[in-house]
């Protein structure tokens, strides 16, 4: 854990009690459609970037890790109707909003309930920040993707920490920090700043990490 400590400083471990508090928090948040919506504008660049990087998904298997209500998977499935999408989240109340034919699954980012190399694609959009044990979660995300598969993580840049009120367990990371973790398991890793809209200059808050295993 020395490497993780150097990256993220002194933070709480993911104890059973903390995991339960995180699960309870997001179960409660499921009722808040304004801040935790069921759908997303398909024009938002977060969505467009995933579609662009994954390309034609054909009949591939994709994991939405920390899916919330499955809003990203809804759009990706509309564009790739033959692909198989598994939407995993720690909060059962969130998963109740995941529509068919998407496949909801309860689980934790630090212990994914899937076999190794089970997916061709995986993405985590603003969910890794809640994993607490970031190093373990990244390793798990890479484990369940096949060699040659593609991974996208979209999250916040630690250099902008303090712009929002956050729960005590939340962690942000710099582009270099997360790239280093992904580089342990992937042959190619790219980090790029992004905005919600393609025609808006990124301000450094959001980054996308694009990796090939």
The residue ranges of every structural domain in the chain are 2-212
**Which pLDDT tens digit goes with each residue over 118-159?**
999 999 999 999 999 999 999 999 999 999 999 999 999 999
CA gap 154, 209 in Å, rounded? 6
Which of 197, 65, 209 lies closest to 137 in space, CA to CA? Answer: 65
Strands 84-89, 145-156: parallel, antiparallel or unpaired by DSSP?
unpaired
Q: What does CATH list as the number for 2-212?
A: 3.40.50.150
Q: What does DSSP say about strands 206-212 and 145-156: parallel, antiparallel, or unpaired?
A: antiparallel
- pLDDT, residue 3, reads 41
Asked if 181 and 154 touch (Cβ cutoff 8 Å), the reply is: no
The DSSP bridge partners found for residue 153 are 124, 209
Angle between helices 175-183 and 134-143 (to 10 degrees): 50
What would the two tokens of residue 33 be?
């459609």
Angle at 201 between CA 64 and CA 169, to 5 degrees: 45
- 3-state SS class at 121: strand
Read off the pTM.
0.93
Q: Of all residues in the chain, what percent carry a pLDDT higher than 90?
A: 92
> Can you read off the two tokens belonging to residue 157?
């840049």
């Amino acid at each position: 854990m020395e490497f993780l400590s150097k990256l993220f400083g002194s933070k709480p471990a993911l104890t059973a009690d903390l995991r339960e508090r995180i699960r309870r928090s997001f179960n409660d948040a499921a009722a808040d459609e304004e801040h935790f919506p069921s759908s997303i504008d398909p024009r938002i660049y977060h969505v467009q970037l995933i579609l662009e990087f994954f390309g034609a998904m054909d009949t591939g298997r994709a994991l939405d890790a920390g899916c919330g209500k499955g809003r990203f998977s809804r759009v990706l499935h509309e564009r790739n109707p033959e692909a198989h999408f598994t939407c995993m989240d720690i909060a059962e109340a969130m998963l109740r909003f995941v529509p068919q034919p998407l496949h909801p699954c309860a689980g934790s980012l630090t212990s994914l309930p899937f076999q190794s190399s089970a997916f061709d694609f995986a993405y985590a959009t603003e969910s890794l920040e809640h994993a607490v044990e970031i190093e373990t979660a990244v390793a798990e995300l890479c484990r369940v993707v096949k060699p040659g598969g593609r991974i996208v993580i979209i999250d916040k840049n630690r250099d902008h920490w303090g712009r929002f009120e956050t729960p005590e367990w939340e962690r942000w990371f710099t582009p270099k920090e997360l790239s280093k973790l992904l580089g342990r398991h992937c042959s190619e890793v790219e980090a790029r700043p992004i905005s919600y809209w393609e025609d808006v200059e990124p301000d450094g808050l959001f980054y996308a990490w694009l990796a090939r295993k």
